[in-house]
Structure 1
Amino acid sequence: MSHTLIIHNKSPHNQEFEVHGWNNNHNIVVRSNERAKIATQDGSSGAIIAIHDSHEGEQAEITKKGFAGNDFFDISNITGAGGNMTIMHVGDPATMKGHPTFMQALNKAWQHADQRTKDGITKPLHLDSAGKIVRMDATKDNSHLETFVRTFDDQSYVGVGAWNGKAGDSRDNIQSRAAVGSKDILITYSDGDARPDPDNSAVIHTHTLVAKQQAVAVRNSHDGKKSGISLTNRSTHDETYFLYDNYWNGNGTAGANFDHPLKSIRVSAGQTVSVDLSSSFKGRVQRGSIIPATWVEFQLEATNDHKAHGDVSVEQGNDGPAIIRATDGTNTTGGFTTPVHAAESAYQIRSDGQRVIASTMGNRLGGPNQAAIESQKAIRDKVYVTGGTGVPDVASANNHLAVDFY
């Protein structure tokens, strides 16, 4: 079933938004004091991110009709801010999330901060000539900034919340609570107060497509000389692959990025392309941009041995085989090349209509699928099924890995 996502721009200027998960991942521009509508399918996930001076700011993260048939949504400032945004079920203000005057609260807190506090957060804050903060960088990149923002904002995601065995901050975790049922959703953006209007008088218009998801430059080579991956499509049809860098990285832990692809690339059947990436990249590549899906996880230069390392994981689903291998002559390989035939209860129909094996660990779409765990025991020594150890560590001294999707 389809529902409508409405974006209301209450500001006096046109506002651009990145769209992930819907609208073919095309950006939209919503004109001043108007509304745009985007169709969303139940079971789908995505994000709407405000753009400020070509930088990503506040974002609405949404899953339609997820666990128990409910919608899950929140407002996050993890990747930055430059305006105010709220989100709620249409007609139900009790479901509203997001700080409606975030930027005003940020400026007020800044004005009252002592010099030591200001010294710790000056770099990620961008001020105009009058000393007013007009844009904030990602809180995930500055622990002092995260602490500062928490002094005035408990209505949106400031950190990453509970993830990968970590308890997270309770103020973030509460943002994950469901809004009962699956309904139309209203996002309100404003430079002033982003509380929704009590009426529906604003004009609804067909949105304007302004840009595609950033495409990655490719080279038709397999030389392994630059940091990155050699990506091969071994299927019989053309495929688009998406690369995601982690929101944050810790000692053996990471904050997975579900909704903000770094790059995308379309690869013809049987073709290999070389994808150049920064040596600091830590994240994954997957088919398409939605889950459940097989993840090929990798980093290109570890801090301890300066090698690239990678593995294959079906913890967030299995939509087909994939392998990863070293290109430095060692030929170490991980992953699987034969499709898994699982019990019927292990499968789910993804938002794009594909029948795939569900997550073994659970996510915002629902909890872990026990049948998926049991059905994939045979590949446990080749891929991560439910974490643990025993999976090959594919390391490549030349900071270049080969990834094949089947």
Structure 2
Amino acid sequence: MARDYYGTLGVSKDASDQEIKRAYRKLARELHPDVNPSEDAQQKFGEVTTAYEVLSDPQKRKVVDLGGDPMDGGAGAGGGRGGGDPFSGFGGLGDIMDAFFGGAGGGGRGRGPRSRVQPGSDALIRLQLTLEECATGIDKEIAVDTAVLCDECRGAGMGENGSVATCDTCGGQGEVQSVQRSFLGQVVTARPCPACQGLGEKITDPCRKCSGDGRVRARRNVSTKIPAGVGDGMRIRLSGQGEVGPGGGPAGDLYVEIDEEPNEVFERQGNDLHCRLRIPMTSAALGASVPLETLIDGEVDVEIEPGTQPETELVFTGKGMPRLRSSGRVDGRGDLHVHVDVVVPSKVDEEQADLIRQLAKLRGEEAPELAGSGAHRGGLFSKLRAKK
């Protein structure tokens, strides 16, 4: 069933082009996403925009008046699937031949003017976050520079006394054609009209603020909720917060890309966190309890067992980064890995040296020995065996 484009704009079937234009401008001001953010209004804005695109195109409007729908292939009176001219949607076989080889008609048929109202582009902004902010999540106010709806003309592109006139160069077709001769005959090519940029119409009194584009560039603040667990390179999509389209068309989306700053203590590997804990050799030998400030859980105690060896790795299960699923929901957390570095003093005074010698004598370690033999143990220069 064909859609009621006239009813969508609230005009009669014999409405003039100016009446259709005024009706669209009035509805666009009420339903534009920047004015009315509700989902119902966005849907209606899309329907109104489609209706205006159809009824402002003479060829498409003709299809509507014949009982068809140009957005569904143009099937109407005599043009359905059951029969009739198979080339009726293109104006007949003769027009197709003319488009390639010319003919008595004197020219090809192009695609007609394009709508001045176009959807906007997506926008991308990078947001720097600390590792702490990535771990806990945060609400951010982001300053973005994008095209926004012109507040003077509300996207219509017209001044106070503005109106729309048919382009003199292309006669409202939105394109100009050129004919070249070849061995096949006349070849007709079409390109967008340079005078009206393919619109088929001109605004007699353009809006002074936007120069008829229906949008201006401006800086604005956008609120966004950054979920816990985001990481470097991830993108958050904010629907309808991108560039407003030409003619006040619906805005694209805004993508916020996370730029995670390095942390002085922790290194992130996926959902796990790694850090290095430097302890003196005395603490490694005797044991100790070392406080460690984490990103989420506050201060935790790292228990160093007596006899802890260099490169010992202590794992705290569930103390790492939140696991962020594709749905935006957090599902558990990674682990915290603490790598122990045993620091051996590079310089000792005479008293310290005497104490160390006494310890070595008590442990029978005055002369170090090479540990292991054979290829399977790493050969001669393997690790020194620590005597107990």
Which bracket does the TM-score occupy, shorter chain normalised? Answer: under 0.3
TM-score under structure 1 length normalisation: 0.20
Query: Normalized per residue, which structure has more helix?
Result: 2
Query: Normalized per residue, which structure has more strand?
Result: 1
TM-score under structure 2 length normalisation: 0.20
Q: Which has the higher contact order (CA 8 A, sep 6+)?
A: 1
Question: Which of these two proteins has the greater Rg computed from alpha carbons?
Answer: 2
